[in-house]
Amino acid sequence: MQHVRLTSPTMKVSLEFGHLQIILLTFFVVIYIFLMFPTHRLTKLLNTIILRSHQNPIQNSDTSTGNMASSIEHRTINVNGINMHVAIKGPENAPVILFLHGFPQLWYSWRHQIEALSSLGYRAVAPDLRGFGDTDAPAEVTSYTVLHVVGDLIGLLDVVAPKKESVFVVGHDWGSIIAWHLSLFRPDRVKALVTLSVLFNPRNPSRKVISTLKAVYGDDYYMIRFQEPGEIEAEFAEMGAERVLRELLSYRTPAPLFLPKGQGLNGKSLDTPAVLPTWLSEEDFKHYTSKFEQKGFTGGLNYYRNFDRNWELTAPWTGAQVKVPVKFIVGDLDLTYNSLGAKDYIAKGGFKRDVPLLEDVVVMEGVGHFINEEKADEISKHIYDFFQKF
């Protein structure tokens, strides 16, 4: 059968001109989108569209040591006079999220969030803090003040965010304390902050920290037991790094923590087996153990030994507020939520007074201290949902 074309020369010209108009219009729309939305924003926009078609976009993260080895970039960066190990994942031009770990942990505690947030259009940056893991550990106790550690992070940000733009920050435990001080000292570098477990602690000009803790909780309180250099290290060496980490990482008693000499946590017999929590695999635990066996605990303990020195050095910030947008998340079984007046500080308005841009406080039921590992997917979603606002 022969096909008959009914298009006249005039119609053909008209149709071809119409096609040209469509092509040109499409071209200009694409150019407009790229001009209006930088690449990282386009990525976030597309991710948002995709995410909204799913009820739970962040789930079942598989981030064992083997899977992560090939997918995360590891760099050593010279900052503030030390060599800092940093784990990085995500597009170079994407918004940066700086993840700050606590004690006794490493960058590795953020492995779930690194995978989740980098897949959603962010650049995840997680250092081993000074004294931990593969980052240098200066010998002097006095080299671990909040000014030193915040100085390290400013040096790091100058490399990973070289245009001096502000970044998103997430902290847990000591990482939260450092994140609070980073936000207090340099709010120009913090776009928004999520802190886990540890509240902002405003400086009390009339009371030093250690004497106050000793008066309230006594000599066996863990922060007091950490004060004398070498003493607790000797006890930890006798117990072995594996036993120490099993004890600490499995702790989920909603009460202050005590370390009587020659005993386990809160006086527990050292003969009592310490079972790993369900959220921590033996493979992941071995990663922690190997690093602390190599490095020891002194670097992390030195943070506690600078409480009073930090109190002296931060006198100029007495009464200062943290003025960045904040979301705070804690487990109701966390020892930090059940000591040091934390609940009253939140409930009676002190927290909001000192952190006026506080947007949300989330208390997760049945969750302990190591919240970013115990509830990895939920925490990743909380972080994503909050940072999406900015």
Active site residues per annotation: 173, 304, 369
Closest CA to 178 of 360, 357, 340, 300: 300
Token pair listed for 114 = 């690194």
Prior bond to 104 cis, omega within 30?
A: yes
Q: What is the DSSP letter of 315?
A: G
For 190-258, give the DSSP string. Answer: EEEEEEES-------TT--HHHHHHHHH-TTBHHHHT-STTHHHHHHHHH-HHHHHHHHHT---SS--B
Closest CA to 379 of 8, 51, 116: 116
For 117-128, give the DSSP string. Answer: HHTTT-EEEEEP
Rounded Cα gap, residues 160 and 77, in angstroms: 10
CA distance to 23, 133, 165, 167, 180, per residue, from 149 (Å): 55, 15, 20, 17, 12
CA distance to 96, 127, 176, 187, 255, per residue, from 88 (Å): 10, 8, 20, 23, 35
Q: What is the DSSP letter of 377?
A: H
Closest CA to 218 of 248, 261, 263, 253: 261
Residue type for position 375: K
Q: Tell me the β-bridge partners of 168.
A: 97, 192
Residue 331 backbone zone (phi > 0: left; psi -120 to 50: alpha; other: beta) = beta
Whether residue 101 contacts residue 110, with contact meaning beta carbons closer than 8 Å, is answered with yes
Tokens 């170079």 found at: 92
- HSE-up of residue 180 (Cα within 13 Å, Cβ side): 23
